[in-house]
Amino acid sequence: MNLINKEIKAVNGIKIPQVGFGVYKLNKGEDFETAVGEAIKIGYRHFDTAKIYGNEKDLGLAIEKSQIPRDEFFITSKVWNTDHGYEATKKAFEKTCKNLNVEYLDMYLIHFASLYYLETWHAMEDLYLQGKIKVIGVANFEIQHLEELMKNSKITPMINQIETHPEFPQNELHQYLTKHKILHEAWAPLGQGNKALLENTVLKKIANHHEKTVAQVILRWHIQRGIIIIPKSSNPKRIKENIQLFDFELSSEEMEKINQLNTGKRYSHSPTGYMINPLYNKLMKIFIK
């Protein structure tokens, strides 16, 4: 079964499926295999993992088990903070490829703007130029991180994966990314499944009008903003619903009503506050060296 999915082009012309499947906090073993196997069967081909998730090998095995050709998948992983630096990043990349049992990655991201991220980016530029990564980008980068990176690099990041949902739409950063032709990818597109958000009366009314779930309305809102999304679930029904987003459209009035839900509330910590924490930086220096 292959459901409809839209593709968005990176600045270099590489096509990225707009709806992906996130595996953050998905349990290893049978639960992981069942969820990812169901996602593949339904038609997902874009999968997002990271070294720190500890499930790269599980994802690689699930993809191999599907017997679907590798080039039909779009696989993303990320380099973790303790692997920053030029040589360390190259080693981390090779380990990730080995874990996933692949010869290249469709997308590789810097997970956070930690110490030495410029050296990490230079390694990723080289891996990209060698054809080992099709799209290189970042995650959890604020405007100041992107400015610093672009001043000290040959290649501008092609994508930024950031927390984004109706209560935290990232409007200023979204406009900045659009201006610089950097794709916007949302993690936690459903606000980490926050109950209050999913029971919001405005969203419920819109969902009822379209005969869709509130989650589908939120995900469709992202789609119409031109954002790539990676919702995650282990529930087969929700896995299917999360990609059934292209048979309805929100009106401009409905989009505006959802825009009004912006409260500026993050469900995770601020990347800026996290990275400038003195204790964090001290520990990073110890780990990296």
Known binding-site residues for substrate equal: 111
Closest C-alpha to 66, from 96, 110, 24, 21: 21
Residue list, annotated binding site: 111
Beta 15-17 vs 7-9: how paired, if at all?
A: antiparallel
The tokens for 226 are 């031109």
3 state SS for 227-275 = CEECCCCCCHHHHHHCCCCCCCCCCHHHHHHHHCCCCCCCCCCCHHHHH
Query: How far, in Å, CA of 75 to CA of 94, rounded?
Result: 14
C-alpha separations of 262 from 171, 226, 268 in Å:
9, 18, 16
Q: What Rg value do the Cα atoms of the chain yield, rounded?
A: 18
What is the phi/psi pair of residue 139, to 5°? -140, 145
- Of 24, 44, 53, 274, which is the active-site residue? 53
* Whether 116 is catalytic: no
Residues with catalytic function: 53
